[in-house]
Every structure is written in C-alpha cells, then in structure tokens.
Amino acid sequence: MPLPPVRAIARPGRPCEHPGVVAAAHPPPGRGRGAVLEDLHVRLRAEPKRGGIRWLAVLDPAAAEAYAAAVAPLVPAIEAALPPEVLANRVAAVHPSPVRIELEAWELARARFRRLVRERAARAGAALMVDVRDCYGSISAATVAAALAALGCDGREVGAVVRVLERLAACGVRGLPIGPEPSAVLANAVLLAVDRALREGGWRHLRWVDDVIVFTEGPSAAAEALERFTAAVDGLGLAVATSKTRVIVDPAAIRGAAIGSGPAARPPGRPASG
C-alpha cells in the first residue's frame, strides 16, 4: 500500500496521541530508500559529560535528511508501541520537505517526568535507579533491525534504516549517532524490550532515554527488578551501568534523586541521549 504524505500534527511540540497522527514519508528523489549514500558526511564533536566526554555526530544536510527519511516511515509503528512510561524523545511531528522528525519539547517532557516521579515515589517503599552503559554507542544496526522487525515493520523500510546506519558507521560513527532526532526514535524502539520486560514482571517504572526508575515495595523487590532489567538489557547485547545503579529507600530521597538524575539541561534542538 502506498504511504500517505507526511504532515505535522495539529499540536506541535506535544507527543503523538495516536499512531495515525504521524504519517510515514515518501523520501524525496535521491534520498532515503534507494538513495545514494556514498556522499554523506559526518563530523564528530566532543562534548563534556559527567565522568568523561561523548561524541556528538553533526550530519551534513544530505545525511540528516537521508537518516530522517529512512526512519520517518517507521515512526507510527514505534510510537504506537511505546508505553506511557517512556517520557523522553517522543515524536511530535514528521515534516515532509525537507524530511525532519520533530520531538516533543524537552521542557514539557521533563516536567511530566518530574510530576510522575513525585506521584510514584510517594507510594513506593524503595526505588531502583539504573541505566544502560554507553547506550547509543552500543546499539548496533543489527539490534535496531531486530527491534523493528519485532514491531512488524516492513523489511524494505528496515533495510533502508540499516543502510543509513552502516554508512554512518563507515564515517566513524559508533552505534547510533548521538544528536540526530532519528537516533532517539530508534533507541526508544530498541529499549522497548526493557519496558516490556519490566511491565510483564509487574514492576512500575519510568524511563527517560536509558535511565530507568523502578518503584517497588522495598529493597528486596528492587533487587528482583534489577535482575529483570539486567536480563532484558543482556538480551539486547547491551550492558548495565553498574556504577550508576543504586537503590533508594526513603520516599523523599527517591523524589530528589530521581528528579535530579539525567540531564538537567540540554542545548535547544537536541534530543536527550544516552
């Protein structure tokens, strides 16, 4: 079935509320599916972060549009699958010319995250705080392809994404490039396996990119949740950031630590990233 044209949703800056709101895109001629990717250019820029640096991928316009055009057709399926526990990097709109993925405003998403942390911490006896080590850099094209296939995405569209990621890898990018919005969409698709594992285990959690907070009755339950999280992450070929893993037992401390975790601020126009 031919794909409908892309359009922005009615309320820019807010996440999609229905998978039909964001339509998939036909890439413009010479871009996206069937595009010639040999001329894509990427510049890697170091940015300080707690405990070291991370490498931001600055894509040239052709590379940025090719990446967005490859991911755009998959946005409806990915967004429809994400549970409400996923707060960061939800898609607000997909724009057609040039193809561009717009994420929900960071300030709105972070405010919702803080509110939910406060509400859930008040009813929790303990909270597990854990995340994925080198999340974006550890997500391979094969892992992305498997996650998209599990969502029932069209094989040709998945192949288009894999080709772009492989071309970016040839330019020196390791895993998902940090910075571009399509990477945030793909990371959410991959980490959906973690959300599902926690939900199936009966755990209440919130996820901000790869930072996960699991609210439990007490420390022993938090330890069980960590086992579940670790198994899910291992299944993706990723690893737990053990140095950042902790269990907090005081509700007030849960609120303060959780709200203060993750990026407190970020430059405008850049998605939250792992």
- What would the mean pLDDT of 222-243 be, rounded to a whole number? 97
Range of the domain at 180: 42-253
Within-domain flag for 188: yes
Lowest-pLDDT choice from 19-23, 103-107, 178-182: 19-23
- What would the mean pLDDT of 218-246 be, rounded to a whole number? 97
Cβ distance 162 to 144 under 8 Å? yes
Q: What angle do CA 262, 265, 268 make, to 5 degrees?
A: 130
**pLDDT exceeds cutoff 70 at 60:** yes
Within-domain flag for 30: no
- Percentage, residues of the chain above pLDDT 70: 78
Instruction: Output the pTM of the full model.
Output: 0.83
Query: Tell me: the pLDDT tens digits for 113-149?
Result: 999 999 999 889 999 999 999 999 999 999 999 999 9
Cβ-in-10-Å burial (0-12, 13-18, 19+) of 263 comes to middle
33 — pLDDT class (breaks 50, 70, 90):
very low
Within-domain flag for 181: yes
**pLDDT exceeds cutoff 90 at 183:** yes
108 — pLDDT class (breaks 50, 70, 90):
very high
Q: What is the C-alpha separation between 10 and 238, in angstroms, rounded?
A: 37
Q: How many domains does the chain have?
A: 1
Query: Tell me: the pLDDT tens digits for 194-211?
Result: 999 999 999 999 999 999
- Tokens 């526990």 belong to 85
Within-domain flag for 195: yes
- Tokens 């993706």 belong to 236
Within-domain flag for 169: yes
**pLDDT exceeds cutoff 50 at 264:** no
Mean pLDDT of the chain: 83
Within-domain flag for 266: no
More confident residue, 53 or 9: 53
**pLDDT exceeds cutoff 60 at 18:** no
Within-domain flag for 263: no
Within-domain flag for 109: yes
